[in-house]
Structure 1
Amino acid sequence: MIEWVGFDGDDTLWHSEGYYQEAQAEFEQIVSRYVDLAKLGLHDRLLAVERRNIKLFGYGAKGMTLSLLEAAIEVTGSRISAADLHRIIGIGKRVLAHPVQLLPGIRAAVEAVAATHRVVLITKGDLFHQEQKVAACGLADLFHRIEIVSEKDERSYRRLFDEFGVDAERFAMVGNSLRSDIAPVVQLGGWGVYMPYHVTWAHEADTDFAAASAHVAQVQDASGIPAALAELDLRTAA
């Protein structure tokens, strides 16, 4: 049976991507003073810059801000003003300061799972920002361990399983990203509870992994997590 359950942070425990979407909309308003957004394909241009920079800056608001600045200079041919570059920095600061709002029902779900399993929070992104969100969420004392990682891939999960002293077959991950939360765990032999969020960053949506896997249970909201884990326990027995 499943012994350990991991929970993702952003858009699984608390809202996150919406703030980044608002930041991008404000960024587009600034850049639209210099270029025709419809002809430029700004969304794709920005995504390309962000993907290029992930290995340098990592995930999170700080990396996003640096990518916004780079993209603004690039697409405007360096014509963007210092004042507008300063406005873009302000966008990043507001994302870093956004309130931590839990998803509906997630506290009850984590409490229910923690009553029968060892639970761990596994989140990725900027260390300081993630620590701030963990401290503000009010759920930290429910978790046996809290892990902030730079990337969620098979290598990272394998290292964590070794540290936890658990086989992948005894571990399930709850998250909103098939690419980062579910696919690597399942590919190692573990299990996943997929809880889609209403909006997903294009980079996280870029995956061929299918949620229809027998090792994955999908839920509509947090209230379905305990039952989904019970269903996965039955599948482990089968």
Structure 2
Amino acid sequence: MAISRKYGRTYHYPFSPGTTSDDRINYTYWNDFQQVPHIVHTEKLDGENNCLSRYGVFARSHATPTTSPWTQQIRQHWELLKNDLGDYEIFGENLYAIHSIEYLKLPAHYFVFGIRQLDYWLSWEETQFIAQLFDLPVVNVLGEATMPVSQKEFEADILVKISQPSVFDSVDIATQKPCTIEGIVSRNMAEYPVDTFAANVLKYVRKGHVKTNEHWTRNWKRAPLIHEKGGGLCGN
């Protein structure tokens, strides 16, 4: 039995080209988003979804805390904050291990994208505030959308945003050439119930971004932080 609920499966936009056979698509997303006054678009980072709760650090499974070597750093940080988490479950992207994209200007390895408290996902404003309290950065904000707006204009904006590189300087590990961001995650900026997750969060993933397979863990490499390269930003 799981200690806590896993992160809900994020449905793709119907025009997202990076779907696989087991992905789900929200074909009625526009009807759902008509009920959402304010939407924030964030960068989908290429790492591992790690959850920090009072019970431990979790990866894909929430049956038992993870002990993988690439979560050692965030588990050490968790030790400092575990007694203050209470009902908060902090979800973030762990970039400690390089996946299909290498980021050349990483200021940290873990970036928060959502916080769950009991039966609700907290608002984006609360998420940023609580992440700051725990000394955790949040994912990059690419922009916002305020309804009403036309569907054509909304989707065109997504396509413009997906064509840009990451602020962390993204490189394709297969070609070693600069590449665009992996994708975009769009979420309701307000608080919403856990059971309505699929109608409040959507993603766009570019085609062909995955360059690793299920055996990447055998030869994984640590992603260096920018300050370790002699840059000007400091990481955690």
- Normalized per residue, which structure has more strand? 2
- Provide TM-score, normalisation by structure 2: 0.28
Structure number, greater radius of gyration? 1
- Provide TM-score, normalisation by structure 1: 0.28
